[in-house]
Amino acid sequence: MTHELENPVVVEFPLRGEGWTAVTTPADRVPSHGTDLLGQRYAYDLLRTDGRRGLHVHPGGGLSGLIRGHRVSDAYAWGQPVHAPFDADVVRTVDGMPERQVVHPIREALLQIWNGLTFTPRRLPEILGNHVILGRGDVFAGLVHLAPGSVTVAEGQRVSQGDVLGRVGHSGNSTSPHLHFQLMDSPDPLTARGIPCAFHGYEVERDGGWLPVTGGVPRRGERLRRV
């Protein structure tokens, strides 16, 4: 583990159930997304997969999904509740941003590249999609790419750890329904710097069983659960 992650802020895992997989994580590289832009130096992308070899995010076969795509609602992650990782104040919410109804991997990848090349501050809402930003002292959490119409909290509201904030979606600059999660030192992603983050309690699948982890930083490809 890189020395940057030796003293992370530890929060609760924001998802429930099993099969969650970190496809982008600071355990494997920093910056995890290849950039410090938008406070995402230590950000995670969390998908939900099944038990088949590889990253199968919906019930269909890999080749057919690559060629024809699949409905957003068929993705295992889509619609799953997103929980507050700590007691906090709701600093910002955005809802009502649309999501594409069919996920086509090639199109989504090309669109992500295009969004990166053409990004301007005015386009921030359409890049983040529907999202919630929480604040506790000088630590802020961003929970991004939520489903339209799913945000259940309002700006200025106080939430407790575990409260439902919204549901996993495919809004904004997303290649598949997933949760983008990050900690940062400001509520404004345009000026924020990322903060290292670990998760207090979850389990990792190992040899057909589940190994408890406390204060861990999930590695790429690990299957996780939180009950």
Instruction: Kindly list the domain boundaries of the chain, sorted by start residue.
Output: 11-226
User: Residue 114 above 80 pLDDT?
Assistant: no
Tokens of 207: 């040899």
The predicted pLDDT at position 213 comes to 96
Give me the percent of the chain exceeding a pLDDT of 70. Answer: 96
Distance CA 146, CA 128 (A): 9
Mean pLDDT calculated for residue range 51-61: 82
Name which residue leads in pLDDT, 218 or 68: 218
Q: Which CATH number fits domain 11-226: 2.70.70.10, 3.30.590.10, 3.90.170.10, 3.40.50.1580?
A: 2.70.70.10
Distance CA 171, CA 49 (A): 19
What are the backbone angles phi and psi of residue 63, rounded to the nearest 5°? -70, -45
Distance CA 27, CA 37 (A): 18
Cα dihedral value 16, 147, 192, 123, nearest 10: 160
SS3 219: coil
DSSP string covering 96-146, please?
Answer: ---B-SEE-HHHHHHHHHHHHHH--GGGHHHHH-EEEEEEETTEEEEEEEE
pLDDT one-digit tens code per residue, 190-207? 999 999 999 999 999 998
pLDDT one-digit tens code per residue, 138-154? 999 999 999 999 999 99
The predicted pLDDT at position 2 comes to 65
Find where tokens 């030796």 sit. Answer: 6
DSSP string covering 12-33, please?
Answer: --S--EEEEEEEE-TTT-SSTT
Tokens of 81: 């509740």
